[in-house]
Amino acid sequence: MRHDPSRDLLVAAAAETLARIRRDRESVPSRVRPLLAYVEQHLFEKSLDVNQLKRACGVRDNTIPIRFTATLGRTPHRYIEDHRLETARRLLRDTDLKIWQVADLVGYSSIQVFSRAYVRWSGESPSTYRESLEPRLRFGRGGWSVEDLQNLQSEVILEVLGASTQTVQREILRRLRLPGPHLVARLCEESRRSPSKSRRIELARLAVLALQAIDPARCADTVRAEWTAKAWSALAAATWAAAE
């Protein structure tokens, strides 16, 4: 069989995403773990959807998907799509693959379906995102990507928030003007991973507060609306878990 170099690019781009799914699997109730194990193994297969996931894991009712949503803050469908598109963004940023090739690699049936999903997820089309990248900022082409810098900024802010009182945290978030939802995403992720129930609630509350720091002039309404829903979902999941 002829070797397909694009598959090597997919493996590299998906490494961080699959590692995150494995970490999620370690932190969820045992009944949800088979679903995440299956998603990890079949994430980029075009046939993967919620119905196949339920059949493969022997789920005959909606109790497990509901628990999945409550635990991870996303429906199984959204969880799959988020991780596919996260990998797609890295491929768009780090490679010269055609957009249709990226769509095919991450499991979409057509470039049209992929583009619509990408717009819903990020607020911009795949071609617009790629055109916005300056060659000097692309990973592997002489420097850091814009997304890398925003993620680094989020890490620094998260460290400062962790060392501050609640009053100072609120003041910091009131004064910030962030270009996107990276900090909100990081706080939601930390909330899901924390083994402490009180810490999960604290981080999720910070994620909700961090929504006010996203600059509406620099972030699409659809993206802010999506992360608003995710932040409140993370808070609901943390509160639900603490009540168990």
DSSP the chain: ----HHHHHHHHHHHHHHHHHHHHHHHS-TTTHHHHHHHHHHTT-TT--HHHHHHHTT--SSHHHHHHHHHHSS-HHHHHHHHHHHHHHHHHHH----HHHHHHHTT-SSHHHHHHHHHHHHSS-HHHHHHH--GGGSTTTTS--HHHHHHHHHHHHHHHHHTS-HHHHHHHHHH--BSSSHHHHHHHHHHHH-S-HHHHHHHHHHHHHHGGGB-TTTS-HHHHHHHHHHHHHHHHHHHHHHH-
**pLDDT higher at 35 or 64:** 35
- Tell me what pLDDT residue 101 has: 92
> Does 193 fall in a domain?
yes
Say if residue 66 is in the same domain as residue 181.
no
Question: Looking at the domain assignment, is residue 234 inside a domain?
Answer: yes
Pair 188, 231: CB distance under 8 Å: yes
Last residue of a domain, one of 79, 110, 132: 132
Same domain assignment for residues 76 and 103? yes
Both 102 and 158 in a single domain?
no
From 132, 157, 176, give the residue that closes a domain: 132
**Domain ranges, residue 219:** 146-243
Please indicate, yes or no, whether residues 199 and 93 belong to a single structural domain of this protein.
no
Residues 116 and 153 in one domain: no
Average pLDDT over residues 84-94: 91
In a domain, 141, yes or no: no
Q: CB count, 10 Å around CB of 98? A: 11
Domain count, the chain: 2
Is 208 within a domain? yes
Decide if pLDDT at 137 tops 50: no
Query: What average pLDDT score do residues 112-136 get?
Result: 84
100 with 201, same domain: the answer is no
Asked whether residue 140 is assigned to any structural domain, the reply reads: no
Q: What is the pTM of this model?
A: 0.56
Structural domain includes residue 15: yes
Residue 125 has pLDDT above 60, yes or no: yes
Considering the domain boundaries, does residue 137 fall inside one? Answer: no
State pLDDT tens for residues 165-208.
Answer: 888 888 888 888 888 888 888 888 888 888 888 888 988 899 99
40 and 80 Cβ atoms separated by less than 8 Å: no
pLDDT of residue 138: 47
The answer to whether position 204 is within a domain reads yes
